[in-house]
Structure 1
Amino acid sequence: MSHNPPETTLSDEQIREAVERLLSAGTLPPIVQAGHPALRQRAAACDGQLSPDQLDRLIELMRQVMHEAPGVGLAAPQLGIPLQIAVIEDQYDVDPEAAALRKRSPLEFMALLNPRYTPLGTEQASFYEGCLSLNGLQAVVARPEKVLLEFHAPDGSRVQREFSGWQARIVQHETDHLNGVLYVDRAQLRSLSSNAEYAARWAEPGIGKAREGLGFGDGPVALP
């Protein structure tokens, strides 16, 4: 990546206080939207700022917010918390044709701490993608079809796992969040569509109709 988002400006103590405010609020917090600085800064590595109890409670809160949204992933910066924590889960029933083309299969709930991904091979896949922090929009993003993800589990153990297809897209999207990157940074911007226009015109398993109608390519976009 050639971009260079700034590091979070919050100290460990400020991060701890922000997490405690969320946990003690008694309600589900809102998902912050594009323009919030937490989405454009590198989150701090999760390395003991939170007690095990706080970490478990934050992960459970993130899971609830993800389900309520609903979405298939959520990163801590989307709650205004600049820590390298993300949750993922994809248990939705989807159209079989779309699932086959997108190589989308169920993904069990996982919490990822300090994730890093490395592309495996050169194959790319281009599909429409959305984000809970850019409400109402979708755009086509080319991403590696297969990645190796290295991360810590909540218990501190190191994990390496390969992901492919739609699952690889999910883990890349959420890991990007932790590095100050939004999907629009990687998107074919000519493909950008409101949810209503996407549903009316371009909702198909692939992107051929949209590519022809909106005039965009489908290769990876270099980050600035």
Structure 2
Amino acid sequence: MGLLRKITNWYARLAPSWGHSSPPYGHVVQIGDPVLRKVSELVPVDKIKSKEIQIVIQKLIYVLNKYGSVGMSAPQIGVNCRIFVMRLTAQNVAALPLDKKKLQDINTVPLTVFVNPKLKIIDYTKVIHVEGCESIRSFAAEVARYNEVQVTGYNADGEDISQVFKGWPARIAQHEMDHLDAKLYTDIMDRKTLQCVCWEEVNLSKGKLAIPFTPQ
């Protein structure tokens, strides 16, 4: 009985409720939400295949698809557990200019789920590129990230997983790991480069532009 109560209390700390109007959300929370500034908790390995954790994983994949994103962490859907997903499709890559793909070292990444991930730096060279975040909608800034990293942890089935990422995929992994540690790219950005990515549209619309917080 004591173990059951302990597990129940652990889930309650992650999210106040598992109902439809509570976390895990079907939208991305925005900067200012306290959940983004709380260090996420480890998932008990024997609970990875539980209904509650599988719901979080499936909702992360749903939101990733809904927003057309390349990465999404559990805190971004309101749950403080150490899970993130990432994916960079061939369609994503093909839609980019050739010079940008080469400059930013952008390559495909299959849908990958990391539970309790740990990150190891392989190449300490830092590369600066403009970076955005679905939790800081419509803004971007230059951010320095390590060029190559290794991420180890568990997949959605509770099996050991290890991946090495280089270039843009390495940036995605570092960005999502930061979310699990209650950090945002605004903490490490070059502050002078912060910009609203739709500033031109704001001028063209004479300030009447509405910025959506979910995809249209």
TM-score normalized with structure 1 length: 0.76
Deviation (angstroms), 1:28: 6.1
Deviations 1:147-203 (A, max 9, x none): 111211122222222110000000000011000010111110101011124899xxx
Question: Could you list the runs of 4 or more consecutive aligned residues of structure 1 that deviate by over 3 angstroms after TM superposition?
Answer: 15-19, 48-51, 197-200
Residue 56 of structure 1, CA deviation = 2.6
Superposition CA RMSD, Å: 2.5
CA displacement at 1:44 relative to structure 2: 0.6
Q: Secondary structure at the match of 1:123?
A: strand
Match of 1:110 in 2: 112
Q: Which one-letter code corresponds to 1:41 in the other structure?
A: K
What is the identity, as a one-letter code, of the residue corresponding to 1:111? V
Q: CA deviation at 1:49?
A: 5.2
Give the count of matched residue pairs. 189
Range with bigger deviation, 37-46 or 118-127: 118-127
Corresponding residue of 1:214? none
Q: CA deviation at 1:114?
A: 1.1
- Deviation track 1:79-112 (CA, whole Å, cap 9, x = no partner) reads 1100101111111132221111100011110111
2:63 match = 65
Q: How does 1:1-224 map to 2 (within 5 A)?
A: 11-15=9-13, 18=16, 20-22=18-20, 29-47=26-44, 48=46, 51-91=49-89, 92=92, 93-197=95-199
- In structure 1, how many angstroms separate the alpha carbons of the residues matched to 2:178 and 2:104? 20
Q: Name the structure 2 match of 1:209.
A: none
CA distance in 2 between partners of 1:19 and 1:183 (Å) = 28
Q: Which runs of 5+ in 1 are unaligned?
A: 1-9, 201-224
Partner letter of residue 37 of structure 1?
P
- State the Cα deviation string for residues 121-168 of structure 1 (Å, max 9, x = none): 321110000000001100000000001112111222222221100000
Moved more, 190-199 or 109-118: 190-199
What's the TM-score once normalised by structure 2's chain length? 0.79
Equivalent position SS for 1:190: helix
Gap change, CA 1:17 and 1:117, over 3 Å in 2: closer
TM-aligned CA distance change 1:39 to 1:28, over 3 Å? closer
| 8 Å Cα contact 2:70-2:87 kept in structure 1 | yes
1:17 positional shift: 5.9
The change in CA–CA distance for 1:123 and 1:16 in structure 2 (over 3 A counts) is: closer
